[in-house]
Amino acid sequence: MARLIFLGPPGAGKGTQAKTLADKHQIAHISTGDILRESVARQTELGLKAQDYMQRGELVPDPLVIALIRERLAEPDAKQGWILDGFPRNVVQADFLDHLLIEIGQTYNFVVNLEVPDEVLVVRLLGRGRKDDTEEVIRRRLEVYREQTAPLIDYYQAKQKLASVNGNQSMHEVTSALGQLVTA
Ligand code: AMP
């Protein structure tokens, strides 16, 4: 059974690739960004608390995201395997995840790190044209990634769980590199 974590900066193609791989293996694609955007759209209690942080390109506070993941991993479809896309985003969340997985008797196979150079990311993100993607917010999201999320590369490397994939190639080539990794 596949349980994977997708790391990588905003604009690396995590969402697209995670969804493709999850569909192929019929496992749950769990994107905290998608769940949070839907909560904002529906103006739920979580959405109302999260929206200001998201608009500024900051991380939503850990307790909110941690509660969300705890609930989501308890859903029946997550029993068949999952890909976490956009979680964990910092060391506190990664430590929480390790403890939660012990608690529920699960483990992940490995962590995929999609590598894309900064200048390519900015071009991609500006081209995507999502509502929250103004240049200022994009730059802040990249900064937040570097400060808070990139340290997870060493974190998972130290656990010998890291698999890096070149994300700076065509969507199809990345999909095929990931496919080989997961069946290997
Ligand atoms: P994403 O679609 O993964 O780029 O996420 C969009 C936004 O949702 C981020 O810029 C954060 O504001 C928020 N977000 C998503 N995942 C997390 C997380 N694990 N921790 C904190 N904030 C998150």
Whether residue 27 is predicted with pLDDT greater than 70 in this model: the reply is yes
Q: Phi/psi class of residue 12: alpha, beta or left (left: φ > 0; alpha: ψ in -120 to 50)?
A: alpha
Q: Can you tell me the distance from the alpha carbon of 144 to that of 160, in angstroms, rounded to the nearest whole number? A: 24
Contact by Cβ (8 Å): 153, 113: yes
Higher pLDDT, 124 or 45: 45
pLDDT digits (tens, 9 = 90+) for 67-124: 999 999 999 999 999 999 999 999 999 999 999 999 999 999 999 999 999 889 988 8
CA dihedral 178, 79, 105, 149 (to 10 degrees): 40
12 lines ligand 1 (CB under 6 A): no
CA 140 to ligand 1 centroid distance, Å: 12
The residue whose CA has the least distance to atom 14 of ligand 1 is: 33
**What would the 3-class secondary structure string for 57-70 be?**
CCCCCHHHHHHHHH
What per-residue confidence (pLDDT) applies to 118? 87
Q: How does DSSP classify residue 12?
A: S
Point out the ligand 1 atom lying closest to the alpha carbon of residue 14: 3
Write down the pLDDT at residue 88: 98
- pLDDT class of 61 with cuts at 50, 70, 90: very high
Compute, in angstroms, the gap from residue 37 CA to the centroid of ligand 1.
Answer: 9
Pocket of ligand 1 contains residue 32 by CB under 6 Å: yes
Structure-token match 């390519």, residue found:
120
Q: In this model, does residue 155 exceed pLDDT 70? A: yes
Pocket test for ligand 1, best of 16, 19, 32, 124 (most atoms within 8 A of CB): 32
Structure tokens belonging to residue 123: 């071009």
Q: Which of 16, 38, 60, 100 to mutate to test the pocket of ligand 1 (most atoms within 8 A of CB)?
A: 60
**Segment holding 72, helix H or strand E:** helix 62-73
141 Cα nearest atom in ligand 1: 10
Q: Give the mean pLDDT of 114-139.
A: 85
Q: How far apart are CA 24 and CA 122, in angstroms?
A: 29
Q: How far apart are CA 37 and CA 39, in angstroms?
A: 5
Residue 87 Cβ contacting ligand 1 at under 6 Å: yes
